[in-house]
Each structure stands twice: as structure tokens, then as C-alpha cells.
Amino acid sequence: MIATILDIITTAAILYIVASGLLLVFGVMKLINFAHGGLMTLGGYAAVIATAIGVNPWIGIPLAAIFGAIVGLGMERIVVRSLYNRPLDAILATWGLSIIIGQIITLVFDRGVHFAEPPIRGVVSLLGESYSTYRLVLTVLALLLGLGLTLILKGTSLGLSTRAVIMNEDLARGLGINSGLVRTVTFTLGSGLAAVAGALITPLSSVYPDMGTAWLISAFMLVLVSGSSLYSLAIASVVLGGAQVIVSGYFGAVLGGMTIAALAAVILRIRPQGFSYE
Amino acid sequence: MSDVNLKEWSQARHLRPRASPLMRMLVVATIALIGVGVTPFFIDAYSVNVLVRSMIYASIALSVDILWGYLGVLTFGQSAFFAAGAYVTALIFTYQGFSAELAFAALVIGIAVAVAMAGLVAFLAFWHGATDLYASVITLVLPIVVTQLLFSGGTFTGSSSGLTGFETVPLSIEAWFWVVGAWLVILTSAAWLYTRSDAGQLLVAIRENEQRCQYLGLNTSNIKAVIFLICASIGAIAGWMYANYTMVVAPEIAGFVFGTELLIWVALGGRGTLFGPVIGTLIIDYASAHLQGDFPFIWKLVIGVIFVSVIVALPRGLLPVASSSLNWLRSLVIKAQPKERTPMQLRQASERSSTAANEGGGAALVVSGVEKRFGSLKVLSGIDFEATYGEIVSLVGPNGAGKTTLMTCIADGLKRSGGTISVAGVDIGHRPPNQCVRLGVGRKFQMANVFDTLTVGECLQIARARLDGLSKWHKSGICNLPQSALHIIRATGLDNDLDVPAQVLSHGKKQALELAMVLALEPKVILLDEPTAGLTKAERTLIGTILTELAKTEQLCILLVEHDLDFVREISSRVIVLHQGRIVLNGSVDEVVNSELVKSVYAGSGH
């Protein structure tokens, strides 16, 4: 029982970390970044590189952030910028970018599975249950991430501009907000977050050129049911992640793998705005 | 313009005869079939082998193009229907063995399974109010669910390694080439005929402006669902061929990645062109088979780079670019000839028995106790009024008084929060817009709402689709319109513009076209939202005269939202004043014009 609850909480935390970058991009740009999976893969390989050169495994995370941000900035400048008015085409183009990232990774490394050194090993005893320390650390990181993003959005002038663009882009532009800059910064930040998420999940999954795709679908569905709110994303992560844990427990991991997608589709059919309360 | 002129004009366009599209299609299809027949004798066995698979993929890419390129449904899920056809075949052959009857049964069951799946997807994805993105999301979920189910099938479905080693239809590789090639040619020709027919234009109309289609009485969700089911069957047939030919099925063919690969082929070839996706798939898959061995990763990288470049820079794909450069080369050699189009002929529709004039007594429109709330905000409350045939009722009131909301509540039974509305004696209940049109409601929007890329004639045909149906195999070139719509078309000179795309019309003509489209529905009650906004004085007078005549001769009930009080005074038989979601006055023109209340409402102090 305790183990299941801990599983639900930590799964929700992981989903929150994985989906927050996508949500940021979707909220500000009304654009679905299908390169999110590719960027996660990139982050996973940053952790692999950190292991390969023998530095502290934690270094892999800032390294992933740098990789993701640079690649994201380039993608926004070259490709995404011209697709703001074509949201469905943007899905396809970013998927194409994901293929490109995956192929370049395959060329540099190979198609095989790689492993990154986990930053923390072992278990701790919690409520009479010995539980993976790393999963608990991820939960703390997810809370910090949510808090940090909220502070940026609420506490800085860039955050204010971003919220203005989310609410009414035309008006924001009319008031002199450089919405192009807001978009660039958001996309770069979102890409960096995707790569960080990719690096953070390496201790839980092996690293291979297609590792991001499965996560992409879960993240995408979570974002759709959350609208553009970080709070709704937290609720959606707990509800859908919890459902995944329970279905996996009773019916096996294979059916658990489709729980989030199937459940989110049904939720959106019944309530198109999903978990957002607007 | 008189009918005589119209006839002369259309005859002048007939002077230079050319082969009909049907004939040209038959010639091209025959050449393609001959090509399919002789190709295996000229290329090596490996290429024949690869091309059979490429042609199977091309047939399913064609179905993706119909959905995405024509209907505007971006689908990630065609792979799931392909897998349904393939897996049903593989399972039957694995567990029942092979026989001709079982092969046929596998085809039928495969299609049935795919159609059942597509029915579920259509139920989830296509409903009044669903967004394009939501429909795409559902098509994305489908392959994920199907893949997981195949994985969880254990030894029955072969899990991750799939099924292999079953006996299939015993045909040589060349024979498969001919079967699949002939099927691809026939399928492409049929799709070409359909998409160039009047009914095919309807798909484009739904893609361009689904809302307008619904308000023209068309159940767009059903139309989308039917096309989706047909495309699922095409996918299942391709899957049947695939399983028979390759004798291997694996869960990857059901997956989202393969579904997306289909989109890549369609996008590169040219969405909405049919030939582009077919040729694109053949070239890319054939080239992949040859290059993948030598440069496996580079090749996929190159495809990725080209794909992104095409989406960004050439959203219509490579075929339109190729064909326009070919036309440019031809124009250097041969003097350019104006493009020939079948001229549209307008005819008068036969009188229907149930026109408004025959209704006799009873009110055309009864609105009682209608309310509309957005959360706690009340936009309309306690709206009660009646309107009879032959009446022009103007709704006036300041911005935000709820005029357009009231119109929406009358035209869409799902919108109001309370109260009842009857049209021609029938309660509209919770009917969606397309069913309200059936009851006799016609709605013209505030901003001219037409199909921009269709011609004027095609717009009118779509407006008549509910009453007259549309030809599924050719352009009939005929549009039957009621007298009232013909009158507007002629009075505004639109009959000279029948072959012109609606987007190039002037603002006034667009408004007139939309009004004609609404009248083509043969409505009993028409709702006009600011029909004169942005029009010149002359155009305004013309519309006013036409509306007055319509009310008189056709006994239409016209409900009008208008800000121009002079215009209201000239044409209305009655005026209703709305303020803050309530009716504050309902009376004759004189009563309203002389009312102190109305003056204070417009001055902004009325309570």
C-alpha cells in the first residue's frame, strides 16, 4: 500500500518534470513541440557523456540543459519561427527535427543501448518501506521545478511578459512587449527543460536513440489535459500517473503504457478543457 | 444580366472543346496499367520485390492524403488500420491454415475490424465542437493503444517479434506486382474522380470552413466519419496485401512512427494532390531500400532534413513545384492558353411543397424564456418574442446587448442555457446547427463567411448540397437555386463571377454571396447579422430592397441585427430593443424611434 502510494507520487513527479517544458512551450506559443522527445534523448546522452569522461554524474544535468538550450535556440530561429500560424505543420516539422536529432545521435554514438552513472544509488527506509532514494530525490526536484517556474512567471518582468503573451498575444504586442523574444526565450527554456528531464530519467531507463518517443506521447497527453497551467499539470500528473501505476500493477506494464494516452483521450472527450479550471 | 446574356456567355466559353476530365483520366490510367504490366520485364527481381511493398505503402499514403490533404484531418493513425488488416490475415493463416476461402475471409474480417476501430475513433474525434487538434490527438492515441494490445497478446499475436512462417496466397512476385499495381492505379483513379467531383469539393469546403458547412445544414461530423471509415478500409486492404506478400507481421507496422512516416511521404509528395503522395511514397521507399544498406543513418537523416525543409518552405510539397516548373517550361514553347473550366450553369430550382408561404397561420419563430449564461455571467435572460411569416424584425441595442448571442441560440439548439425556441411550430430542442437548418433556419454571419478557395459557383453548390445532393464522380456544372437566391446573384452581378474564387470578391459581393447561399437553403426564418456592415450606400439600398421583396413575395421571416438605425427604419416591420440581455422594447418602428428609453439606452445611461 505504502509502496503503491510512493510509486504514484514519484511517477507523478517524473511525469511533471518530463511534461513541464512541453507545457511551457504549448502555453506561450500554442505550439506542440514534437521535438520534445528528441531533446529528452539529447539530455540522456549528455548524462552518458558525463559518465564517459568520468566526472560527477550530477554534472550531466547542467550539461544536458546547455545542450538542450543551444539546440532549442537553433530550432526556434531556423524552423519553428516560420510556423507560428500553422500549428499542425509545426507538429510535423518538430517531429522531423526530432528525427534529425535522433539520427545525428545515432551517427555519433550507435544504435545500441548506453548507460549513464546514476547520481545516487541505494534505498532509504520510509514509513517502514525501503524505497529508491533517487525516485524520492526526483520528487523533491519536481517540487523545486514547479516552485521555480512559478516564481519566474510570477516574480520577474520576463514572467509578466510571458503571462501577458499567454493571455492575449495581440494585446501584449500592442503594449510593446517583444513577443518574438518571449517566444524565443520560452522555446529555449522549454528545450533545456526537456533535455534536463532526459538526463534525470537516465537512472530509470536505458539510453538509446529512440528513448524520447514513448515519453513524448505521455507528456503531450498530459499537456493537452492541463491547458497552459502548471497547477493543472500537477493535478493531471498525479491522476494519470496514478492510473498508470495502478493499471501496471494489476494488468502488467504493457497495458500500463497506454493508460495515460487512452485516459487522456477520454477525459478530453468528456471535458474538452481537461483539468484546467477556466 | 438577363438569362439570354448568361447563356451567350456560357456558350462563348464552350467554343474551344477539350477532352473531358473523365476521358483524360481513363487515358492516364490505361497508360499506367500498361506501365504496371510491362515493368517487371525490364527491371531486376530485387527492384520488383521492393516496388510491390512500395506500392502497398503508396495505397495507404493515398488514404492519408484524402484525410489530411483534402479533408484537413491530420491523422497519425492510418498505420493502426494497416496493422488490423495485416494481423487479422496473419492470425487466420497462422491458426487456421491457408485456403482461398480463408484468404477472402481474412480480407473481409480485416476490413470489418478496421472499420470498427475507425468507428470508435470517429465517435471520439468527430463531433460538433471538437477541434482539429483533438481529432489528431485521438488518431495519435489509436496506434499507441493498438501497439500495446499487440504486445500484450503474448504468443497469440507473437508479442514484440510478431508472426511469421504462415502460408499465404501463392502468387509469384511478378503476379503480386501486377495485382498491387492494378489496385493502386484503380484506387488512385477512383480517388481522383471523387476529389474532382462536386462531392469532393465538399471535403475542401469542410477543411476550409467547417462551421459554415454546419450552418448550411450539412452534418460535417458524419461526412468526416464516413470518409474516415472508407480510408480505414483502404488501410486494411493494404494490410491484407502486406501480410500476404511479405509473410511477416510485426507490431511496428501498427505504430505511431509508421503512421508519421506516412505523413512524411504525403507531405514530401504534396498533400492534396493524390499523385504527389503516391509518387513520393514510391520514390522514397524504393530509394530507401537501395540506399539504406549502404548509408543507413545518413539516408534517414537526409529524409528528415528534406522533410523539415519542405514543411517550412514548400508546405504544398514537391509535386506542385515540379508541375508548375513543367508548366513554365511548356509556356516558353507553346503560347499560354487560358485555363479551361467547365462553366457553371445556374438553374431555377423547382418549387418545394413546404415553402414558407404554405404554412399559413402560426408564428414562424417563437422564443420564450430564453436564457444564456457564461458561468455566473448572464448574457440573455427572459427573452420572449414571436415573429410571423413575411415580417422583418430588427434587433437593435448597444454592443454587448446580446444580439449576436440571441442569433446563435436560435441557430444552434445546444447554445442556450434555458427556455424554448420553436421554428415553424417545431421546438428546436438541443438540435445542432445542421438540424436547425432542416427546420428552416438560415444564418448569415457578421463577417462574410464563405469558402475562400472555392469558386462562387462551387460555394452555391455546397449550399444546395443538403437539398440536391452532390455528384460523387464528376463536376455537374449545374446549380439549382431558388428564385430568391438567383435574384440576388443577378442583381449584384455575381453571375459574372461564378468561376472566380470567393476570396477575390469585393467585401460587398462576399456579403451578397453569403446571403445567396443562405437563401439557397430555402429557409423559413433567416437570421442576418449586420448584413450591411461595411457596404456602400448603393449596396445597402440594394440589399434593403431585396430583403423587403423577399419578406413580401417569399413570406420569409427575417430577423436582422443592425446598428444602422436609418436602415432599420426603412425596412423593418417591427423593432426589438435589447439592452443588457433583456428586451426593453418590442414595437413598431415609430414607437421605437420616438421612445425616450431607447435614446437613453443608446446614450449609455438606461437602466
Could you identify the residue written with the cell 461595411?
A: B534
Beta bridge partners of B587: B575
Q: Where is pLDDT greater, at B333 or B5?
A: B333
Distances from the Cα of A26 to the Cαs of A76, A186, A229, B20, in angstroms? 14, 10, 10, 49
Task: Dump the DSSP string for B99-123.
Answer: -HHHHHHHHHHHHHHHHHHHHHHHH
- Contact flag B304-A103 (C-beta cutoff 8 Å): yes
From A82, which residue of chain B is nearest by alpha-carbon distance?
A: B312
- Contact flag B141-A262 (C-beta cutoff 8 Å): yes
A270 interfacial to chain B (CB closer than 8 Å)? no
Rg (CA), chain A: 18
Q: Nearest Cβ partner of B145 from A93, A95, A261? A: A261
The answer on pLDDT for B191 being more than 50 is: yes
If residue B346 lies in a helix (H) or strand (E), which one and from where to where?
strand B345-348
Give burial (CB, 10 Å; 0-12/13-18/19+) of A269: middle
Number of Cβ within 10 Å of residue B361's Cβ equals: 7
* B419-450 pLDDT, tens digit each: 899 998 889 889 999 999 999 999 998 887 88
Question: Which of B148, B257, B258, B264 has the highest number of chain A CBs within 10 A, making it the mutation to test binding with A?
Answer: B148
Mean pLDDT of B447-475: 86
pTM of the model: 0.89
Mean pLDDT of B389-405: 87
Q: Nearest Cβ partner of A258 from B129, B137, B148? A: B148
Mean pLDDT of A135-142: 92
A255 interfacial to chain B (CB closer than 8 Å)? yes
Q: Where is pLDDT greater, at B230 or A180?
A: B230
DSSP B69: I
Mean pLDDT of A132-157: 88
Q: Nearest Cβ partner of A93 from B134, B145, B312? A: B312
- B4 — pLDDT class (breaks 50, 70, 90): very low
Put residue A125 in one of left, alpha, beta given phi > 0 → left and psi -120 to 50 → alpha.
beta
CA of A220 vs chain B CAs: smallest distance (Å) = 9
- Per the prediction, chain B carries an average pLDDT of 86
- Quote the pLDDT of residue B338: 52
Q: Nearest Cβ partner of A100 from B134, B137, B305? A: B305
The answer on pLDDT for B492 being more than 50 is: yes
- Contact flag A82-B312 (C-beta cutoff 8 Å): yes
A264 interfacial to chain B (CB closer than 8 Å)? yes
* B244-257 pLDDT, tens digit each: 999 999 999 999 88
Which range among A16-20, A198-202, B513-517, B588-592 shows the weakest confidence by mean pLDDT? B588-592
* B259-304 pLDDT, tens digit each: 999 999 999 999 999 999 999 999 999 988 888 777 777 888 988 9
Distances from the Cα of A121 to the Cαs of A124, A136, B157, in angstroms? 10, 11, 38
Q: Nearest Cβ partner of B297 from A83, A107, A220? A: A107
Q: Which residues of B touch A221 (CB under 8 A)?
A: 137, 141
Mean pLDDT of B121-127: 90
Question: Could you tell me if B80 and B281 are in contact, meaning their C-beta atoms sit under 8 angstroms apart?
Answer: no
Could you identify the residue written with the cell 444546395?
A: B464
* A148-160 pLDDT, tens digit each: 998 888 877 777 8
Q: Is B560 helix (H, G, I), strand (E, B) or coil?
A: strand
The answer on pLDDT for B357 being more than 70 is: no
Number of Cβ within 10 Å of residue A188's Cβ equals: 21
- Quote the pLDDT of residue B606: 42
Size of interface A-B (CB pairs under 8 A): 96
Q: Distance between CA B287 and CA B427 in Å, rounded?
A: 62
The answer on pLDDT for B339 being more than 60 is: no
Mean pLDDT of B560-576: 86
CA of A164 vs chain B CAs: smallest distance (Å) = 23
Q: Is B71 helix (H, G, I), strand (E, B) or coil?
A: coil
- A203 — pLDDT class (breaks 50, 70, 90): confident
- Contact flag A100-B308 (C-beta cutoff 8 Å): yes
Q: Nearest Cβ partner of A99 from B132, B140, B300? A: B300
**Percentage of chain B lying above the pLDDT 70 cut:** 93
- Quote the pLDDT of residue B292: 76
Q: Which residues of B touch A96 (CB under 8 A)?
A: 264, 304-305, 307-308, 311
- Contact flag B141-A261 (C-beta cutoff 8 Å): yes
Q: Nearest Cβ partner of B301 from A104, A258, A264? A: A104
Which range among A20-24, A274-278, B455-459, B589-593 shows the weakest confidence by mean pLDDT? A274-278
The answer on pLDDT for A202 being more than 70 is: yes
- Contact flag B132-A88 (C-beta cutoff 8 Å): yes
Question: Could you tell me if B547 and B392 are in contact, meaning their C-beta atoms sit under 8 angstroms apart?
Answer: yes
- Quote the pLDDT of residue B11: 45
- B509 — pLDDT class (breaks 50, 70, 90): confident
- Quote the pLDDT of residue B336: 53
The answer on pLDDT for B243 being more than 50 is: yes
Q: Which three cell numbers stand for residue B185?
A: 492505379
The answer on pLDDT for B14 being more than 80 is: no
The top-scoring range by mean pLDDT among B203-217, B288-302, B537-551 is: B203-217
Q: Which residues of A touch B117 (CB under 8 A)?
A: none
Q: C-alpha B368: how far from its chain's center?
A: 35
- Quote the pLDDT of residue B5: 45
* B56-99 pLDDT, tens digit each: 999 999 999 999 999 999 999 999 999 999 999 999 999 999 99
Could you identify the residue written with the cell 442576418?
A: B528
Q: Which residues of B touch A217 (CB under 8 A)?
A: 140, 144, 256
Q: Nearest Cβ partner of A89 from B141, B260, B311? A: B311
Q: Which three cell numbers stand for residue B146?
A: 493498438
Q: Is B576 helix (H, G, I), strand (E, B) or coil?
A: strand
- Contact flag B312-A97 (C-beta cutoff 8 Å): no
From A104, which residue of chain B is nearest by alpha-carbon distance?
A: B301
- A219 — pLDDT class (breaks 50, 70, 90): very high
From A256, which residue of chain B is nearest by alpha-carbon distance?
A: B148
Q: Which residues, at least 6 apart from B438, have a Cβ–Cβ distance to it below 8 Å?
A: B217, B431, B466
Q: Distance between CA A101 and CA B103 in Å, rounded?
A: 43
Widest CA span in chain A: 58
Question: Nearest CA to B555 among B425, B316, B387, B413?
Answer: B387
Mean pLDDT of B131-136: 86
Task: Dump the DSSP string for B362-374.
Answer: S-SEEEEEEEEEE
- Quote the pLDDT of residue B22: 82
- Quote the pLDDT of residue A193: 96
* B145-155 pLDDT, tens digit each: 999 899 888 88
CA of B174 vs chain A CAs: smallest distance (Å) = 35
Q: Distance between CA B35 and CA B179 in Å, rounded?
A: 13
Interface of B to A at Cβ within 8 Å reads 74, 124, 129-134, 136-138, 140-141, 144-145, 148-149, 151-152, 256-257, 260, 263-264, 267, 297-298, 300-301, 303-305, 307-308, 311-312, 315
The interface predicted TM-score of the complex, written ipTM, equals 0.90
**Is the four-CA dihedral A116, A117, A120, A123 of positive or negative sign?**
positive
Could you identify the residue written with the cell 483524360?
A: B24
From A278, which residue of chain B is nearest by alpha-carbon distance?
A: B375
Question: Could you tell me if B85 and B240 are in contact, meaning their C-beta atoms sit under 8 angstroms apart?
Answer: yes
Mean pLDDT of A29-51: 92
